[in-house]
Amino acid sequence: MMPLSFVRPGEPVTIKMIKGTDEVRQHLYELGFTNGEQVSIVSQVSGNLIIQVRDSRIALDKTMANRIYI
């Protein structure tokens, strides 16, 4: 497993685990980041990521993306 921030843009990956406090995990779940969900990085600028998850594009900073393991 590795953090989502290590993935190249355009490569579809599946979420295996989300780390962090209960509040952080709940926030990411509410955004659509759940175990087994397929996501892909649309773009990466200065460590910030635009991620395609379900039918939405979500912006995350690198520290939040590092809590999502694929």
How far apart, in Å, are the Cα atoms of 41 and each of 21, 30, 32, 37, 60? 24, 18, 14, 13, 10
Whether 11 shows a pLDDT value over 90: the answer reads yes
pLDDT interval class at 29 (50, 70, 90): very high
Task: Give tens-digit pLDDT for 13-24.
Answer: 999 999 999 999
Task: Give tens-digit pLDDT for 30-68.
Answer: 999 999 999 999 999 888 999 999 999 999 999 999 999
Q: What pLDDT is recorded for position 22?
A: 95
CATH architecture for the domain at 4-69: Roll (2.30)
Measure the CA–CA gap between 45 and 31, rounded to whole angstroms.
20
How far apart, in Å, are the Cα atoms of 25 and each of 9, 19, 20? 23, 7, 6
Q: What pLDDT is recorded for position 63?
A: 93
